[in-house]
Amino acid sequence: MWTKHFGLSTLEVGVLGALSANAFGAALGAVIGGPLSDKFGRRFIYVYDMLVYMIGTLLVAFANSFAMLLAGFIVIGIAVGAGVPASWSYIGETAAGTERAKNIGVSQFAWSLGPAVIFIAALLLNPLGLLGNRLIFGGLTIVAFIAWNLQRTLPESQDWLDQKAEEKRVGHKSAINAHPYRTLFSNKTSIKWLLFLIGVYALWNLVAGSQGMFLPYIFESVVKLDATQSSLLNILIWVLTALSTYFGFAKFGDKVDHRFFFGVGAIMSLLSWILLTFWGMSQSWALWAFAALWGISAGIGAQAWYALWATELFPTQFRAGSQGIMFFIVRASAGLYSIFVPTIMAQLGFSVGGYIMIGILIVSLIIGLIWTPQTRGKSLEEITKEQYGEEFLNEDQKKKLQ
């Protein structure tokens, strides 16, 4: 709708996607929100983040030019990115050692349900044309206002409060507390897990991010489906993602071997793109099989595992900040890639784009299977001590281990 109304070129479509919540916008928000969350608290982000998001949705809802539309997408992206490190850190820190995957899974369920509802609304409002799109973003503003009021009632993370109390007690005696990000980039363990998580998640997100931004465009402009068929396929993907997140990751992520569970999701995502690339252009069954396989795999795939492992594998001092840095790299790389996706599909053909996606998913699968961290059933304190040593624990965390 936006493309037709503003007469956007393929490059402008790419830029719009690249600077949105799926890419650069979220990248910028994450690299800002992560360190702020470590310095001022997880709740601090919640108090202001949704206000920024509401400004973005209102800009899009009332956009009368490409510049205003782009500004709205950027602001939304910044708000989304800023909230991710704080929320995942908060969820991990407030969950018991045997329920972290469950709590992360429930949050991912809500994350996945949102797009499903949006696509259903888009299908129902499609007869209204561009007005329907504007109404959707107006509705998002109302939902964000409700969420903002609820988030303000949340208590601060006790782990973060304990860490700040420890820093106040010891002052600058601890180099770790005084310069947490210097430690993040100089400690061999933290560097190892940074590279691992970026490898698994950034690669997978090149594919997932491209889908999030351009799958409707691919379905309608490349595969030549109508708007209703495209919406139905996207609804199926997101509904299955939400269901597999809740009934798969949330239910079994704390119980099943992580390497096996990760492998199942990664292989399913790979198979989905093989089907789409080789048969999706000519066989309708392949499109539905792709949607089903990708939808299920996304719920138990790299994003859910990244959310869990990124919380577990870094100490409280720079837990949110490390996530902000990784999320910045992940979303920025997706943004760079997304600029060229429409051109690749239009000029080189869909098959070439599909081969690239398949290759990316294979590499992500291999990295994840080889270096899967063994954290299941352990508390955050146990993981931190095991990975970094006791000097990275504050006094309250040490007491929990006694």
DSSP states of 172-215: TS-HHHH-HHHHHTT-HHHHHHHHHHIIIIIHHHHHHHHHHHHH
Note the pLDDT tens digit of each residue in 51-79.
999 999 999 999 988 889 999 999 999 99
CA distance 217 to 350: 12
Report whether 384 contacts 397 (CB < 8 A): yes
Report whether 86 contacts 42 (CB < 8 A): yes
Sequence-separated (6 or more) residues with CB below 8 Å from residue 249: 101, 104, 105, 108, 261, 299, 300, 304
**Structure token digits, residue 6:** 């503003």
CA distance 225 to 217: 10
Give φ, ψ of 313 to 5 degrees. Answer: -90, 5
Note the pLDDT tens digit of each residue in 172-187.
556 566 677 888 899 9
Name the pLDDT band for 222 (thresholds 50, 70, 90): low
**Structure token digits, residue 249:** 């990751």
* Residue 390 CB burial class (10 angstroms; 0-12, 13-18, ≥19): exposed
pLDDT tops 90 at residue 355: yes
Note the pLDDT tens digit of each residue in 177-219.
667 788 889 999 999 999 999 999 999 999 998 887 777 777 7
Q: What is the mean pLDDT of the chain?
A: 88
Sequence-separated (6 or more) residues with CB below 8 Å from residue 150: none
Assigned fold of 2-401: Growth Hormone; Chain: A; (1.20.1250)
Which of 106-110, 253-257, 282-286 has the highest mean predicted lDDT (pLDDT)?
Answer: 253-257
| Mean pLDDT for the stretch of residues 353-375 | 95
Give residue 174's pLDDT: 60
Report whether 92 contacts 240 (CB < 8 A): no
CA distance 99 to 89: 14
CA distance 313 to 195: 12
CA distance 285 to 65: 39
Please report the sign of the dihedral spanned by the C-alpha atoms of residue 190, residue 195, residue 199, residue 201.
positive
Give residue 266's pLDDT: 98
Is 54 or 232 the better-scoring residue by pLDDT? 54
pLDDT tops 60 at residue 269: yes
Sequence-separated (6 or more) residues with CB below 8 Å from residue 253: 101, 102, 104, 105, 261, 304, 308
Note the pLDDT tens digit of each residue in 284-342.
888 899 999 999 999 999 999 999 999 999 998 899 999 999 999 998 888 788 778 77
CA atoms within 13 A on the CB side of 379: 13
What is the CA 78 to chain-centroid distance, rounded?
13
CA distance 323 to 303: 13
